[in-house]
A = this chain, B = another copy of it.
């Protein structure tokens, strides 16, 4: 379970985070690093490639490998991502509570079947809940999930669906999102998402999927306009 290239990647990460290598700095060349870790250049190359993908460093043929100038910047932002937006993070789970408005099972429409990629005879959960963070309203969620993946309970819905999935060894891979600004609906007012009929809401429709490409949840979340920062990084 202990891979060399991951250890090397970790060690280099460490040195960047503690300031041994500063933004813009040239790292030792791959042969040097290989010597230092008592391994070959190919393994070092693999470790470095992972860090390139993470956006921490970049390599130039013939020149060397450098620490990205904006790394410290990204680091700050990445924290906000995990703190706030990432549904797969556990950090907030203590102070996060849910009030369940609906919890039922029904057959999906054809459009819903196409999104969730389930067979015609499979039924789906339909859930609506309001989420509170440290007592304050945080979001309104409406989602669909096939009943074939895990069995949902009131208990699970009060806490975290994602946590239950992980506990049952499902591996969550990623999410696809469509983001809008919308006018508050009457429901938003009733649910307490907004105080005022003229307040805007941030609406995110997202499809979450497992590592085998199976979508497991079709989700719409509505956030109060003032509280919501959605953060995303895009690499081309």
Contacts and interface: CB of A to CB of B under 8 A. Distances in A.
Interface string A10-22: 0000000000000
A179 to B, nearest CB: 4
Q: How many copies, total?
A: 2
A143 interface: no
Given A178-B230, A225-B200, A117 B183 contact: no
B199 A183 contact: yes
B200 A58 contact: no
Most buried by B among A71, A77, A173, A181: A181
Nearest to A176: B233
Contacts of A66: 212-213
Interface in A188-236: 198-203, 207, 209, 211-215, 223, 225, 228-236
B199 A179 contact: no
A234 B71 contact: no
Contacts of A35: none
B181 A181 contact: yes
Contacts of A105: none
B181 A69 contact: no
Given A180-B228, A183-B225, A215-B73, A172 B236 contact: yes
A115 B171 CA distance: 36
Given A183-B200, A213-B70, A230-B180, A173 B235 contact: yes
30 contacts: A24-B213, A58-B211, A58-B213, A68-B212, A70-B213, A73-B117, A73-B207, A77-B176, A77-B178, A173-B236, A174-B234, A175-B234, A176-B232, A176-B234, A177-B232, A177-B233, A178-B229, A178-B230, A178-B231, A179-B231, A179-B232, A180-B181, A180-B202, A180-B229, A181-B182, A181-B225, A181-B228, A182-B225, A183-B198, A232-B234
A234 B200 CA distance: 25
A180 B212 contact: no
A103 interface: no
B69 A214 contact: yes
B225 A68 contact: no
A111 to B, nearest CB: 12
